[in-house]
């Protein structure tokens, strides 16, 4: 029989370090760092292993599967045995697998090691949103999550440029750097960051994990709606730009013919868009405004994905139109992501780790599936990529209709709710 999960220390009694948000941002950056840093090196890796670019693209899909697997179990395990144990184990696995990839001699070895690396990455990053939920008040979640995402977004800007620079030393140097980064984070976590949800090894149970996830799936809000629907909708929206991520190296370097050195500049434009929208979310996010921002982000993403598909299928396929559309598609997640995460996570306290793991597992599973679909229909053009991205965005918007969040006629409700909140605060 599985033992009940024990939570000995209430989150309210945790002394929050000033550097906590910076650390969480650096920790969650493990995900984009592992995906983005070797994008400029993918053609070189294909040449080194004597395979085509699609085979190297598949290492991204494999990573997304392993990352989702690690997130699924890592979040629930952190509810049982503590966030810190799970995070440190994940960082150790990630570092060792990264070193091993640098010595790989075949694509098959890279795929298996990327899967292992991804499990470690999933363990170490799934705890980030749960830590935020542990230590901050529910009304602060939107802004805090936007701040974490803003810190994390430095990685997609820096990682491709770093990868292009390290490529001069050979592609293995990129993975050796990842191992060093993970080791530095593990050291800092061990000595400088407190445990936010204590647990014990005796609580570890796969059966309890499945039960916890079942509770998250079954949870309903006061209107009878399931919060997990927010997670599914955000996962599909993320799959839209993850599909581009899977194909970015082909699209920019091989299809449009830009160099690996210049690639980070084109790739980083979309990330700059997300940084801008995250700053907006951080400044303007409130519990009342969150549903409006969530739907706005998804709808604008759909418009951009539709325009991109029309450009590629019917138009002259200008690289600048592709760059601009991708920038909007990526940027809109800076609105929908923090808002949707706060609307989702506010319903969970004791099961914050399980709730986080289900959301992120779904997100990376969707990214892997849609990325694999675009690879299956690969024909040497951008058509499979853009149609798959459009399909993901359409699905995200359709699922969002079931959340109850509305875009139209939302402004009066926002103003009334914020006015009431200010009045209550002044009265208190």
What are the tens digits of pLDDT across the range 342-356? 888 888 877 777 787
Does the pLDDT value for residue 402 go beyond 60?
yes
Does the pLDDT value for residue 105 go beyond 90?
yes
Q: Which of 326, 349, 143, 391 is nearest to 227 (CA)?
A: 349
Residue 420 belongs to some domain of the structure = no
> What mean pLDDT do residues 235-256 have?
89
Residue 289 belongs to some domain of the structure = yes
Q: Which domain range does residue 318 map to?
A: 13-406
> What mean pLDDT do residues 356-381 have?
85
pLDDT at 124: 92
Residue 423 belongs to some domain of the structure = no
Distance, CA of 4 to CA of 237 (rounded, Å)? 35
Residue 3 belongs to some domain of the structure = no
Residue 20 belongs to some domain of the structure = yes
Q: Work out how many domains the chain is built from and give that number.
A: 1
pLDDT at 408: 55
Does the pLDDT value for residue 412 go beyond 80?
no
Residue 128 belongs to some domain of the structure = yes
Least confident of 168-182, 256-270, 272-286, 308-322: 272-286
Mean predicted lDDT score pLDDT of the chain: 84
Does the pLDDT value for residue 128 go beyond 80?
yes
3-state secondary structure the chain: CCCCCCCCCCHHHCCCCCCHHHHHHHHHCHHHHHHHCCCCCHHHHHHHHCCCHHHHHHHHHHHHHHHHHHHHHHHHHHHHHEHHHHHHHHHHHHHHHHHHHHCCCCHHHHHHHHHHHHHHHHHHHHHHHHHHHHHCCHHHHHHHHHHHHHHHCHHHHHHHHHHHHHHHHCCHHHHHHHHHHHHHHHHHHHHHCCCCCECCHHHCCHHHHHHHHHHHHHCCCCCCCCCHHHHHHHHHHHHHHHHHHHHHHHHHHHHCCCCCCCHHHHHHHHHHHHHHHHHHHHHHCCCCCHHHHHHHHHHHHHHHHHHHHHHHHHCCCCHHHHHHHHHHHHHHHHHHHHHHHHHHHCCCCCCHHHHHHHHHHHHHHHHHHHHHHHHHCCCCCCHHHHHHHHHHHHHHHHHHHHHCCCCCCCHHHHHHHHHHHHHHHHHC
pLDDT at 3: 43
Does the pLDDT value for residue 420 go beyond 80?
no
pLDDT at 57: 85
CATH of the domain at 151: 1.20.1250.20
Does the pLDDT value for residue 398 go beyond 80?
yes
pLDDT at 362: 85
pLDDT band for position 428 (50/70/90)?
very low
Does the pLDDT value for residue 6 go beyond 50?
no
Residue 401 belongs to some domain of the structure = yes
Residue 198: phi and psi, rounded to 5, are -60, 150
Does the pLDDT value for residue 8 go beyond 70?
no
Name the residue with higher pLDDT: 230 or 350: 230
pLDDT at 152: 66
pLDDT at 418: 46
Neighbours of 238 (CB within 10 A): 25
* Structure confidence by residue, pLDDT tens digits, 61-81: 899 889 888 888 888 888 889
pTM of the model: 0.70
Residue 347 belongs to some domain of the structure = yes
* Structure confidence by residue, pLDDT tens digits, 251-299: 998 899 988 888 888 888 877 887 888 778 777 777 888 888 899 999 9
Name the residue with higher pLDDT: 389 or 128: 389
> What mean pLDDT do residues 28-56 have?
89
């Amino acid at each position: 029989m599985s033992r009940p999960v024990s939570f000995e220390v209430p989150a309210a009694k945790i002394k929050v370090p000033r550097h906590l948000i910076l650390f969480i941002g650096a920790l969650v950056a493990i995900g984009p760092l592992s995906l983005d840093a070797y994008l400029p090196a993918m053609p070189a890796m294909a040449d080194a292993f004597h395979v085509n670019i699609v085979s190297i693209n598949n290492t991204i899909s494999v990573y997304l599967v392993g990352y989702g697997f690690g997130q699924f179990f890592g979040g629930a395990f952190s509810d049982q045995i503590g966030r810190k144990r799970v995070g440190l184990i994940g960082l150790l696995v990630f570092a060792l697998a990264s070193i091993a990839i640098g010595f790989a001699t075949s694509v098959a070895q890279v795929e298996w090691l990327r899967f292992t690396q991804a499990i470690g990455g999933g363990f170490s990053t799934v705890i980030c949103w749960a830590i935020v939920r542990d230590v901050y008040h529910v009304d602060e979640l939107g802004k805090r999550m936007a701040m974490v995402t803003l810190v994390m977004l430095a990685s997609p800007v820096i990682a491709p440029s770093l990868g292009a620079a390290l490529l001069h030393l050979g592609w293995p140097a990129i993975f050796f750097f990842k191992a060093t980064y993970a080791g530095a984070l593990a050291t800092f976590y061990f000595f400088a960051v407190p445990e936010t949800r204590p647990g014990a090894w005796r609580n570890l149970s796969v059966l309890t994990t499945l039960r916890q996830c079942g509770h998250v799936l079954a949870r309903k809000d006061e209107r009878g709606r399931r919060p997990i629907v927010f997670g599914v909708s955000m996962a599909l929206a993320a799959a839209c730009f993850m599909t581009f991520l899977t194909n970015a190296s082909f699209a920019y370097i091989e299809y449009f013919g830009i160099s690996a050195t210049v690639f980070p500049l084109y790739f980083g434009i979309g990330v700059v868009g997300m940084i801008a929208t995250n700053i907006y979310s951080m400044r303007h996010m409130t519990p009342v405004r969150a549903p409006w921002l969530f739907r706005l982000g998804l709808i604008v993403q759909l418009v951009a994905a539709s325009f991109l598909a029309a450009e590629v299928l019917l138009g002259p396929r200008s690289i600048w139109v592709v760059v601009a559309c991708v920038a909007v598609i990526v940027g809109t997640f800076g609105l929908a992501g923090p808002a949707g995460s706060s609307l989702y996570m506010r319903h969970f306290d004791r099961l914050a780790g399980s709730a986080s793991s289900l959301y992120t597992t779904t997100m990376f599973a969707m990214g892997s599936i849609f990325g694999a679909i675009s690879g299956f229909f690969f024909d040497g053009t951008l058509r499979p990529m853009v149609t798959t991205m459009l399909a993901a965005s359409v699905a995200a918007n359709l699922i969002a209709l079931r959340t109850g969040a509305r875009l139209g006629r939302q402004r009066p409700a926002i103003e009334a709710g914020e006015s009431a909140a200010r009045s209550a605060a002044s009265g208190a």
